[in-house]
């Protein structure tokens, strides 16, 4: 009887682990991000869910090269994470990007896709930049010619990392694809009561609502 109970317990553990399995083989996890995903049931489930959304998004586009560039850049940005919060937030961005691509296709942003450009900064340059930021704020990301729309220097941003600016570029593309105008960005923040983001430009606030893990995306505007 004891053997039967033990076997059932082991079986239930196996079922539980399968319910939260990541989309990749965790025994081969090497990077910090991969190990973090495998150690977290929440992130493992999100990774498995994202696998299906990724497939739907890929199947919905004709420009496979552009899609591959977005996917590769997204993956690279995840691999740069060095803490749990970064990996957790990465999934919010990934669901938003792939969900929007599935719903509306790949937007054009000044001839380049926001997530396809990797930052070419050496460790020494990063250190020097960090030190200089303590003296004077660097607005190069705000004013970069690669921006889909310039970000105002006094803009309210919940994050000002390179990945955040790339995501802003993508949101600007979807706002414009929804027949709205966006010349400069004045704010960017996640929604509090729902899954999505708010982007403000030209005096209007655009709600980018993500439903069903990116399966349904709606862009609306508030005065």
Residue 221: predicted pLDDT: 58
Domain range for residue 45?
28-110+141-222
pLDDT score of 185? 92
Q: Is residue 133, in this structure, part of any structural domain at all? A: no
Instruction: Say what the pLDDT of residue 216 is.
Output: 45
- Residue range 73-103, pLDDT digits in tens: 888 888 888 888 888 888 888 888 888 888 8
Classify the C-alpha dihedral 134-139-144-147 as positive or negative: positive
Question: Is the residue at 122 inside a domain?
Answer: no
pTM for this predicted structure: 0.48
Structural domain total, the chain = 1
**What is the pLDDT, as a whole number, of residue 162?**
85
Phi-psi region of 115 (alpha: psi -120 to 50; beta: other; left: phi over 0): alpha
Q: How far apart are the first and last CA of the chain?
A: 68
User: Beta partners for 196?
Assistant: 209
196 and 210 in contact (C-beta within 8 Å)?
Answer: yes
In a domain, 212, yes or no: yes
Q: Are 196 and 188 in contact (CB under 8 A)?
A: no
In a domain, 130, yes or no: no
199: tokens are 């982007």
From CA 133, how far away is CA 126, in angstroms rounded? 10
∠ CA 31-80-50 to the nearest 5 degrees? Answer: 75
In a domain, residue 5? The reply is no
Domain assignment present for residue 201? The answer is yes
Residues of the chain with pLDDT under 70: 1-20, 107-135, 192-195, 209-223
Distance CA 120, CA 163 (A): 13
């Amino acid at each position: 009887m004891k053997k039967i109970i033990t076997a059932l317990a082991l079986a239930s553990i196996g079922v539980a682990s399968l319910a939260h399995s990541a989309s990749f083989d965790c025994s081969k996890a090497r990077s910090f991000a991969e190990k973090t995903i495998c150690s977290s049931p929440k992130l493992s489930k999100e990774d498995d869910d994202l696998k299906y959304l990724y497939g739907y998004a890929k199947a919905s586009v004709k420009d496979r090269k552009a899609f591959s560039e977005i996917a590769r850049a997204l993956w690279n940005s995840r691999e740069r994470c060095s803490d749990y919060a970064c990996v957790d937030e990465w999934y919010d961005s990934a669901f938003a990007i792939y969900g929007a691509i599935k719903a509306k296709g790949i937007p054009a942003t000044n001839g380049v896709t926001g997530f396809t450009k990797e930052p070419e900064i050496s460790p020494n340059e990063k250190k020097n930049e960090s030190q200089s930021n303590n003296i004077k704020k660097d607005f190069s990301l705000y004013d970069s010619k690669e921006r889909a729309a310039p970000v105002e220097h006094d803009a309210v941003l919940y994050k000002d990392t390179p990945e955040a600016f790339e995501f802003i570029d993508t949101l600007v593309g979807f706002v414009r694809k929804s027949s709205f105008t966006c010349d400069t960005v004045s704010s960017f923040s996640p929604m509090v009561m729902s899954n999505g983001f708010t982007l403000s430009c030209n005096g209007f606030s655009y709600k980018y609502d993500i439903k069903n893990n990116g399966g349904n995306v709606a862009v609306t505007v508030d005065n």
